[in-house]
Protein backbone atom coordinates (compact mmCIF):
# COMPACT_ATOMS: atom_id res chain seq x y z
CA UNK A 1 0.00 0.00 0.00
CA UNK A 2 1.24 3.47 -0.84
CA UNK A 3 2.14 5.66 2.11
CA UNK A 4 0.65 9.16 1.94
CA UNK A 5 2.78 11.66 3.79
CA UNK A 6 1.72 15.26 4.39
CA UNK A 7 4.66 17.62 4.85
CA UNK A 8 4.24 21.19 6.10
CA UNK A 9 5.69 23.92 8.29
CA UNK A 10 3.40 25.99 10.48
CA UNK A 11 3.72 29.04 12.68
CA UNK A 12 1.63 29.65 15.80
CA UNK A 13 -2.12 29.03 15.39
CA UNK A 14 -1.35 26.76 12.40
CA UNK A 15 -0.49 29.56 9.96
CA UNK A 16 1.15 28.22 6.79
CA UNK A 17 0.72 31.07 4.32
CA UNK A 18 0.21 34.75 3.74
CA UNK A 19 -0.57 36.30 0.35
CA UNK A 20 0.67 33.21 -1.52
CA UNK A 21 3.96 32.90 0.35
CA UNK A 22 5.40 31.34 3.48
CA UNK A 23 5.69 34.18 6.02
CA UNK A 24 9.16 33.10 7.21
CA UNK A 25 12.52 32.00 5.87
CA UNK A 26 13.89 28.95 7.66
CA UNK A 27 16.78 27.34 5.72
CA UNK A 28 16.93 24.40 8.13
CA UNK A 29 13.30 23.55 7.36
CA UNK A 30 13.95 23.76 3.61
CA UNK A 31 16.75 21.19 4.06
CA UNK A 32 14.42 19.01 6.17
CA UNK A 33 11.69 19.30 3.52
CA UNK A 34 14.13 18.22 0.81
CA UNK A 35 15.29 15.22 2.86
CA UNK A 36 11.68 14.16 3.54
CA UNK A 37 10.48 14.44 -0.08
CA UNK A 38 13.49 13.65 -2.30
CA UNK A 39 12.85 10.62 -4.49
CA UNK A 40 9.08 10.59 -3.89
CA UNK A 41 6.37 12.17 -6.03
CA UNK A 42 5.18 15.50 -4.62
CA UNK A 43 1.57 16.61 -5.04
CA UNK A 44 0.68 20.27 -4.67
CA UNK A 45 -2.06 22.70 -5.54
CA UNK A 46 -1.68 25.37 -8.21
CA UNK A 47 -1.04 28.18 -5.74
CA UNK A 48 1.69 26.17 -4.01
CA UNK A 49 3.30 25.55 -7.41
CA UNK A 50 3.13 29.27 -8.19
CA UNK A 51 4.65 30.13 -4.80
CA UNK A 52 7.82 28.15 -5.61
CA UNK A 53 10.63 30.31 -6.99
CA UNK A 54 10.89 29.64 -10.74
CA UNK A 55 14.43 28.29 -10.37
CA UNK A 56 13.01 25.49 -8.16
CA UNK A 57 10.14 24.57 -10.50
CA UNK A 58 9.83 21.68 -10.81
CA UNK A 59 11.33 20.52 -7.52
CA UNK A 60 14.35 18.45 -8.59
CA UNK A 61 14.64 14.75 -7.82
CA UNK A 62 10.88 14.34 -7.46
CA UNK A 63 7.97 13.84 -9.86
CA UNK A 64 5.90 17.02 -9.47
CA UNK A 65 2.12 16.80 -9.80
CA UNK A 66 0.02 19.97 -9.71
CA UNK A 67 -3.68 19.71 -8.86
CA UNK A 68 -5.85 22.29 -10.58
CA UNK A 69 -9.27 22.36 -12.16
CA UNK A 70 -7.99 24.76 -14.82
CA UNK A 71 -7.66 22.43 -17.81
CA UNK A 72 -5.61 24.92 -19.85
CA UNK A 73 -3.12 25.59 -17.05
CA UNK A 74 0.46 24.77 -18.14
CA UNK A 75 2.95 23.42 -15.59
CA UNK A 76 6.31 23.20 -17.34
CA UNK A 77 8.27 20.22 -16.06
CA UNK A 78 5.38 18.86 -13.99
CA UNK A 79 2.17 16.94 -14.56
CA UNK A 80 -1.17 18.72 -14.30
CA UNK A 81 -3.97 16.66 -12.76
CA UNK A 82 -7.56 17.65 -12.03
CA UNK A 83 -8.02 16.09 -8.59
CA UNK A 84 -6.11 14.63 -5.67
CA UNK A 85 -7.57 11.25 -6.69
CA UNK A 86 -6.09 11.61 -10.18
CA UNK A 87 -2.69 12.44 -8.67
CA UNK A 88 -2.78 9.41 -6.38
CA UNK A 89 -3.89 7.13 -9.22
CA UNK A 90 -0.99 8.34 -11.34
CA UNK A 91 1.44 7.67 -8.48
CA UNK A 92 -0.05 4.19 -7.98
CA UNK A 93 0.52 3.43 -11.69
CA UNK A 94 4.19 4.26 -11.12
CA UNK A 95 4.24 2.04 -7.99
CA UNK A 96 5.50 4.90 -5.83
CA UNK A 97 5.91 3.56 -2.27
CA UNK A 98 5.40 7.05 -0.76
CA UNK A 99 3.56 10.11 -2.06
CA UNK A 100 4.19 13.50 -0.42
CA UNK A 101 1.41 16.07 -0.26
CA UNK A 102 3.12 19.46 0.07
CA UNK A 103 0.31 22.01 0.06
CA UNK A 104 -1.63 24.06 0.19
CA UNK A 105 -4.29 24.22 2.84
CA UNK A 106 -7.14 22.82 0.70
CA UNK A 107 -5.07 19.88 -0.47
CA UNK A 108 -3.91 19.08 3.07
CA UNK A 109 -7.51 19.02 4.28
CA UNK A 110 -8.57 16.81 1.36
CA UNK A 111 -5.72 14.36 2.03
CA UNK A 112 -6.02 14.14 5.84
CA UNK A 113 -8.59 11.30 5.83
CA UNK A 114 -6.32 9.08 3.72
CA UNK A 115 -2.89 10.17 4.99
CA UNK A 116 -0.69 7.72 6.88
CA UNK A 117 1.98 10.13 8.14
CA UNK A 118 2.35 13.83 8.99
CA UNK A 119 5.72 15.59 9.02
CA UNK A 120 5.29 18.98 10.67
CA UNK A 121 7.76 21.75 11.42
CA UNK A 122 6.44 23.96 14.23
CA UNK A 123 7.83 27.48 14.17
CA UNK A 124 7.50 29.82 17.17
CA UNK A 125 6.26 32.82 15.20
CA UNK A 126 3.11 34.95 15.26
CA UNK A 127 1.69 35.63 11.79
CA UNK A 128 -1.13 38.11 12.39
CA UNK A 129 -2.23 38.40 8.76
CA UNK A 130 -2.03 34.74 7.73
CA UNK A 131 -4.63 33.60 5.22
CA UNK A 132 -3.83 29.88 4.93
CA UNK A 133 -3.80 27.38 7.78
CA UNK A 134 -2.71 23.80 8.37
CA UNK A 135 -5.39 21.24 9.15
CA UNK A 136 -6.03 20.34 12.77
CA UNK A 137 -4.16 17.28 13.99
CA UNK A 138 -6.93 15.27 15.62
CA UNK A 139 -6.67 12.52 18.27
CA UNK A 140 -6.42 9.74 15.66
CA UNK A 141 -2.84 10.93 15.07
CA UNK A 142 -0.08 9.74 17.38
CA UNK A 143 3.09 11.79 17.86
CA UNK A 144 5.97 9.35 17.27
CA UNK A 145 8.95 11.73 16.98
CA UNK A 146 9.69 15.22 18.27
CA UNK A 147 13.01 17.03 18.06
CA UNK A 148 14.27 19.28 20.79
CA UNK A 149 13.57 22.95 20.26
CA UNK A 150 16.10 24.23 17.75
CA UNK A 151 17.22 27.75 16.88
CA UNK A 152 17.72 28.73 13.26
CA UNK A 153 20.62 30.82 12.02
CA UNK A 154 17.88 33.39 11.35
CA UNK A 155 16.95 33.36 15.05
CA UNK A 156 13.62 31.52 14.73
CA UNK A 157 12.83 28.77 17.23
CA UNK A 158 11.38 25.59 15.74
CA UNK A 159 11.01 21.83 16.15
CA UNK A 160 10.31 18.87 13.88
CA UNK A 161 7.44 16.47 14.62
CA UNK A 162 6.28 13.24 13.01
CA UNK A 163 2.85 11.65 13.45
CA UNK A 164 1.40 8.30 12.40
CA UNK A 165 -2.25 7.46 12.23
CA UNK A 166 -3.16 5.45 15.34
CA UNK A 167 -4.23 1.90 14.53
Encode pLDDT of 57-110 as tens digits.
999 999 999 999 999 999 999 999 999 999 999 999 999 999 999 999 999 999
Task: Please report the pLDDT score of residue 141 as a whole number.
Answer: 98
CA separation, residue 119 to residues 11, 54, 73 (Å): 14, 25, 29
Domain region containing 83: 3-165
| Total number of domains constituting the chain | 1
Q: What is the CATH classification number for the domain harbouring 109?
A: 3.40.430.10
DSSP labels, 103-140:
--HHHHHHHGGG-SEEEEEEE----TT--EEPPP--TT
Contacts of 55 (CB under 8 A, 6+ apart): none
How far is it, in rounded angstroms, from Cα 82 to Cα 87?
8
Mean pLDDT value of segment 117-129: 97
Region 9-18 average pLDDT: 96
Amino acid sequence: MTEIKLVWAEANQGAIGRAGEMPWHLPEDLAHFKAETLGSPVVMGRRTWESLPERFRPLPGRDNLVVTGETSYVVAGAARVSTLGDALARCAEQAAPTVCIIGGGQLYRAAMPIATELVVTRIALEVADADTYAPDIRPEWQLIERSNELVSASGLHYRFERYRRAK
